[in-house]
Amino acid sequence: MSEDSRDHDARPADKGGLSVWQVVKSTLAAAFGVQTPQARERDFRHGNPLTFIVAGIVFTAIFVVVLVVIVNLVLTGAGTG
């Protein structure tokens, strides 16, 4: 990763908040428990709590749908679906 792209990730968006990409990356990192201290500090300093709440709900809904699809595929493959 180039130094310019790392700097871009560390800086908040020009509007004073975080970019959509930064929110997505932080949400995924939080889901897997691998958030860096720098990103956490950035999120708390420049982020909007409502944005992270909505991102977390959307991520959780997508995660549940993916799990349901996988279980249905496995059950269909096993001949019980």
* Global pTM value: 0.71
Domain span including residue 38: 3-77
pLDDT computed for residue 15 by the predictor: 54
Say how many domains are in the chain. 1
Cα distances (angstroms) measured from residue 75 to each of 13, 71, 80: 45, 6, 5
Cα distances (angstroms) measured from residue 69 to each of 55, 79, 81: 21, 15, 12
Q: What is the pLDDT of residues 55-67, one digit of tens each?
A: 999 999 999 999 9
DSSP, collapsed to helix, strand or coil, labels residue 10 as helix
| % residues pLDDT > 90 (the chain) | 73
